[in-house]
């Protein structure tokens, strides 16, 4: 754990291998799409790498932290894909 937080790539790869299925499964359950879950998996672990210094094991489990990042990433992904609603009355239709 400490090695990953100090930037050790091998430790990060081990972390990825240990938790990739958990993150993918969570993302798939939220998005309902294999492709979206795969995208989310990549985005989550990119975030995990760049935010590794923010994880504090005294505040909670790593799995809880990963879950929160995954849920937030899925929410951002859905927000990007929701088309803007346009009233037919506003369009003059």
Domains of the chain and CATH, by start: 2-70 (1.10.1740.10)
Strand spans (E) along 10-52? none
pLDDT at 79: 52
Are 5 and 53 a contacting pair, CB within 8 Å? yes
What's the pLDDT at 53? Answer: 92
pLDDT tens readout for residues 3-49:
888 999 999 999 999 999 999 999 999 999 999 999 999 999 999 99
Contacts with 13 (C-beta within 8 Å, 6 or more apart), sequence order: none
pTM, full prediction: 0.79
């Amino acid at each position: 754990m400490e090695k990953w937080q100090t930037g050790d790539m091998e430790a990060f790869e081990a972390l990825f291998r240990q938790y990739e299925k958990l993150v993918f499964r969570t993302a798939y359950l939220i998005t309902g799409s294999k492709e979206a879950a795969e995208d989310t998996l990549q985005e989550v672990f990119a975030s995990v790498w760049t935010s590794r210094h923010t994880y504090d094991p005294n505040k909670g489990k790593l799995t809880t932290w990963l879950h929160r990042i995954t849920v937030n990433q899925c929410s951002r992904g859905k927000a990007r894909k929701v088309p803007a609603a346009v009233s037919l009355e506003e369009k003059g239709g």
